[in-house]
């Protein structure tokens, strides 16, 4: 009953629909909460052909037929399984400690090498039917891709937006691209849900057409799983490089041997890097920490190994898993790691302004620097680095950036009720970091340092004061400027503990 729906429909949240204004058509139609300029009095959705965009705006969508094959386990992974087994054969042949479990005289088992991993169970694979080919055949399955034939990327002096869980979503990456970021990377995606065709996990791999230097990051602990993911990404995903997460410190990830837990598992790590590198024509990169424990750094030992196994570039966060954010990043150690390899290395940790960027880049001799919390607190950090100056950005300019995020969010998640609330949720997560920025013009001792907890202060106008508020109720007020009022019982609590100073 269209008339009844129109009569009971809540008021629009704003006069203009960003999607219709930029693309000439809003797919949400009547459900759009900004539909006054693209729905006529009869409830029909208006199209403006003069604004139509050509080409896909967002790629790496999960095709339905691929999802069905993955869920029913009908996807053909024989190639990946074969390469994974070949890697195990090389490891077991070269590693004399592969049989490190010995039975002592008293019947107890002991490990000679505590850092090595027991051999993984071999996956059951069907033997391929051998038959002679008829007619001309390609040699792509016979001639292995050499390292020199992989896609070449220029990593030198690039600013790199870190893959940030939850807050490193596609709309935020678009904001950073507009403000000067060179390299962007999708949020960390887990290998097993990817292989199961899980829609929300595949959504983390989506790429906007403006991301001209884009990678996806995968986290996993099982070599056979990671091999299959590599084949899937090679065949289905459009990106410039693929990154393995070896730095995630979260207990849920670490205790399963993923993220930073993979740093201590040499055999699985070697198989994963060898296999994924052999399966992909795209460069394989790794991001890791200095180590697991504060008093034992191991990254400098891992760096030359993963280079030998096939990594094309490396990134190191200058803290251990145990440290989290309780200490400053160790850029001297990052420099030590750079000296151990010939592949490009990116450093990461505590960069908040272009002076920090210049100092640490020169000290460590890295090829480039990855920005994480600094980019969340001030996304225009990329612009400051490129222009080599501090930007005393006004409150209105900061609010315009928030508006851009909301527009990109409505385009990505939808402009209906569900899309609006998704956009609000991710906006509030970002504002839980962004409120920590202090305007450069009111600092007594500029520039601002990322680890400095400043007292509550009053901005140069009410808007600056509002944007700097640590109160989540004020963040909700900011969201209401663009996304409408929230329910009376609405509450928000930041997901990330890293938004704090400790």
Average pLDDT over residues 204-222: 97
pLDDT at residue 305 greater than cutoff 50: yes
pLDDT value of position 116: 42
pLDDT band at 307 (very low <50, low <70, confident <90, very high): very high
pLDDT value of position 135: 52
pLDDT band at 98 (very low <50, low <70, confident <90, very high): low
Write the pLDDT tens digit of every residue in 368-398. 999 999 999 999 999 999 999 999 999 999 9
Give CA angle at 284 (226, 348), nearest 5°. Answer: 110
Q: Which long-range contacts (CB under 8 A, 24 or more apart) does 60-69 make?
A: 60/202, 60/205, 60/206, 60/207, 60/216, 60/236, 60/237, 60/238, 60/239, 61/206, 62/197, 62/199, 62/202, 62/203, 63/236, 66/197, 66/236, 67/197, 67/199, 67/202, 68/197, 69/197
pLDDT at residue 273 greater than cutoff 50: yes
pLDDT band at 97 (very low <50, low <70, confident <90, very high): low
Write the pLDDT tens digit of every residue in 246-259. 999 999 999 999 99
pLDDT value of position 54: 86
pLDDT at residue 109 greater than cutoff 70: no
Tracing tokens 């504060």 back to the chain, one arrives at 294
Phi then psi dihedrals of residue 131, to 5 deg: -145, 150
Q: How far apart are CA 79 and CA 77, in angstroms?
A: 5
Residue 162 and residue 348 in contact, taking contact as beta carbons nearer than 8 Å: yes
pLDDT band at 3 (very low <50, low <70, confident <90, very high): confident
pLDDT band at 148 (very low <50, low <70, confident <90, very high): very low
pLDDT value of position 497: 59
pLDDT at residue 101 greater than cutoff 90: no
Residue 352 and residue 380 in contact, taking contact as beta carbons nearer than 8 Å: no
Write the pLDDT tens digit of every residue in 220-272. 999 999 999 999 999 999 999 999 999 999 999 999 999 999 999 999 999 99
Write the pLDDT tens digit of every residue in 154-186. 999 999 999 999 999 999 999 999 999 999 999
Percent pLDDT > 90 in the chain is 76
How many beta carbons lie within 10 A of that of residue 438, not counting itself? 19
Query: What are 314's strand-pairing partners?
Result: 286, 345
Mean pLDDT of the chain: 88
pLDDT at residue 123 greater than cutoff 60: no
pLDDT value of position 257: 95
Average pLDDT over residues 275-285: 96
Choosing from 219, 221, 248, 406, the catalytic residue is 248
pLDDT at residue 105 greater than cutoff 90: no
Please return the burial class of 249, using the count of CB atoms within 10 Å of its CB with bins 0-12, 13-18 and 19+: buried
Write the pLDDT tens digit of every residue in 418-443. 999 999 999 999 999 999 999 999 99
Q: Which helix (H) or strand (E) covers residue 270, if one does?
A: helix 266-279
How many beta carbons lie within 10 A of that of residue 71, not counting itself? 13
Q: Tokens in use for 456? A: 């509550």
Please return the burial class of 461, using the count of CB atoms within 10 Å of its CB with bins 0-12, 13-18 and 19+: exposed
pLDDT at residue 115 greater than cutoff 50: no
pLDDT value of position 122: 43
- Choose between 134 and 367: higher pLDDT: 367
Q: For every residue of 220-252, which 3-state class applies, written as one string?
A: CCCHHHHHHHHHHHHHHCCCCEEEEEECCCCHH
pTM of this structure: 0.88
Phi then psi dihedrals of residue 338, to 5 deg: -60, -35
Q: Is 248 a catalytic residue?
A: yes
- Choose between 148 and 79: higher pLDDT: 79
pLDDT at residue 107 greater than cutoff 50: no
Write the pLDDT tens digit of every residue in 11-60. 999 889 999 999 999 999 999 999 988 998 888 899 999 999 888 899 99
């Amino acid at each position: 009953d269209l008339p009844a729906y129109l009569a009971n429909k809540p008021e629009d949240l704003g006069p203009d629909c960003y999607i219709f204004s930029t693309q000439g058509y809003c797919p949400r139609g009547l459900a759009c909460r900004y539909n006054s300029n693209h729905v006529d009095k009869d409830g029909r959705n208006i199209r403006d052909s003069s604004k139509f965009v050509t080409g896909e705006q967002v790629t790496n969508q999960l095709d339905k037929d691929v999802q069905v094959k993955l869920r029913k386990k009908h996807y053909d992974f024989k190639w990946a399984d074969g390469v994974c087994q070949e890697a195990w054969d090389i490891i077991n042949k070269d590693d004399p400690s592969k049989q490190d479990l010995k039975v002592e005289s008293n019947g107890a088992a002991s490990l000679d090498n505590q850092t090595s991993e027991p051999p993984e169970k071999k996956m059951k694979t069907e033997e391929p039917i051998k038959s002679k080919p008829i007619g001309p055949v390609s040699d792509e399955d016979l001639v292995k891709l050499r390292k020199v034939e992989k896609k070449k990327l220029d990593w030198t002096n690039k600013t790199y937006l870190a893959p940030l869980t939850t807050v490193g979503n596609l709309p935020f990456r678009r904001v950073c691209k507009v403000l000067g970021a060179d390299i962007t990377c999708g949020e960390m995606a887990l290998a097993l849900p990817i292989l199961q065709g899980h829609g929300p996990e595949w959504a983390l791999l989506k790429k906007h057409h403006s991301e001209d230097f884009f990678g996806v990051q995968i986290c996993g602990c099982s070599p056979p799983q990671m091999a299959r993911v590599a084949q899937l990404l090679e065949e289905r995903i459009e990106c410039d490089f693929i990154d393995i997460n070896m730095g995630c410190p979260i207990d849920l990830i670490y205790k399963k041997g993923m993220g930073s837990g993979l740093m201590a598992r040499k055999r699985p790590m070697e198989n994963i890097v060898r296999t994924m590198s052999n399966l992909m024509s795209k460069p394989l990169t790794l991001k890791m920490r200095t180590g697991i424990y504060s008093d034992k750094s191991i990254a400098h030992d891992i760096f030359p190994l993963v280079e030998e196994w096939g990594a094309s570039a490396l990134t190191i966060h200058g803290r251990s898993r145990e440290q989290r954010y309780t200490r400053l990043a160790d850029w001297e150690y990052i420099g030590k790691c750079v000296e151990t390899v010939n592949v490009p290395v990116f450093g990461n940790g505590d960069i908040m302004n272009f002076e920090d960027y210049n100092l640490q880049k020169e000290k460590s001799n890295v090829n480039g620097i990855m920005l994480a919390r600094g980019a969340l607190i001030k996304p225009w950090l990329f612009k400051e680095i490129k222009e080599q100056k501090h930007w005393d950005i006004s409150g209105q300019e900061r609010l315009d950036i928030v508006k851009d995020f909301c527009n990109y969010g409505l385009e990505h998640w939808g402009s209906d009720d569900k899309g609006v609330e998704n956009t609000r949720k991710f906006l509030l997560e970002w504002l839980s970091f962004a409120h920590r920025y202090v305007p450069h013009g009111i600092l007594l001792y500029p520039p601002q340092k990322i680890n400095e907890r400043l007292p509550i202060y009053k901005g140069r106008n009410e808007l600056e004061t509002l944007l700097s508020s640590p109160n989540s109720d004020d963040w909700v007020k900011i969201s209401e400027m663009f996304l409408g009022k929230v329910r009376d019982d609405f509450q928000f609590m930041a997901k990330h503990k890293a938004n704090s100073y400790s």
